[in-house]
Amino acid sequence: YQIRTVVRTVLPSILIAIIAAEVYPSMVQWVAHLHTGGSDNAELYTDDVLTVLSNDLSQYVQNILTTCALLFGMLVGQTYYFMYQQQELVFYALFAEVTEAKSLLEQISLMTYGRPKVYNSLLSRMNDYVLNDLKLLSVKDPIALTSRLPKDDPLESILYATSVGLPGVVYDT
C-alpha cells in the first residue's frame, strides 16, 4: 500500500510543483504586461499600480486564507464522500449476508423437517451465528471475526452439517 500511496500522491504532487515552478514566472510577467485594450495601448499594471499592490499585503493574506478555506472544504467534502461510500458498501454487504442467512434458515427448516435432533442442533447454531456474528459487527473487530478457525464459526458448522451452499432454483419463490 505504501508504494501505491507514493505513486498516487507524492509523484503527482512533485510533478505539479515542478510544472508550477516553471510556468508561474512567465505567467506573472504576462499578466504584468497586459494591455488595457484601449487605443493608447497602455499597460494594465503600471508602476504606480504595482507599487500599491506590493504595499497592500492584507489583500494577499485574505486571498491566501480564502484559498486555503476552499481547499480545506473540498478536502472535507471528498473525505465525507469516501466515508459515506465505504459505509454504504458495508451495509450492502450486511444486507446480502442477512439475505443469504434467511435462505439458509429456510433450507434448514425444509431439510430437517422430520429429524428433530438435527433441526434443534442446526437452529441453535443459526442462533449462535446471528448473535455472535451478525449482531456484533459494530462491537467486535471485523478482522477478529473473520480470522476465526472454521470449527469456531457457527455458520461453517451449519454449512458443514448440511453441505449446502447458495439456495437452488427450487427455493427461489
Q: Which residues pair with 35 in a beta bridge?
A: 43
Flag whether pLDDT at 90 surpasses 90: no
Q: How far apart are CA 116 and CA 155, in angstroms?
A: 19
Q: pLDDT band at 7, cuts 50/70/90?
A: confident
Say which residue the cell 492584507 belongs to. Answer: 58
pTM equals 0.48
What proportion of the chain, given as a percentage, has pLDDT over 90?
12
Distance CA 110, CA 119 (A): 10
For residues 76 and 96, give the distance between their C-alpha atoms in angstroms, rounded to a whole number: 30
Backbone angles phi, psi at 37, to 5 degrees: 90, 0
In which band, very low, low, confident or very high, does the pLDDT at 70 lie, cut at 50, 70 and 90? very high
φ and ψ at residue 109, rounded to 5 degrees: -65, -35
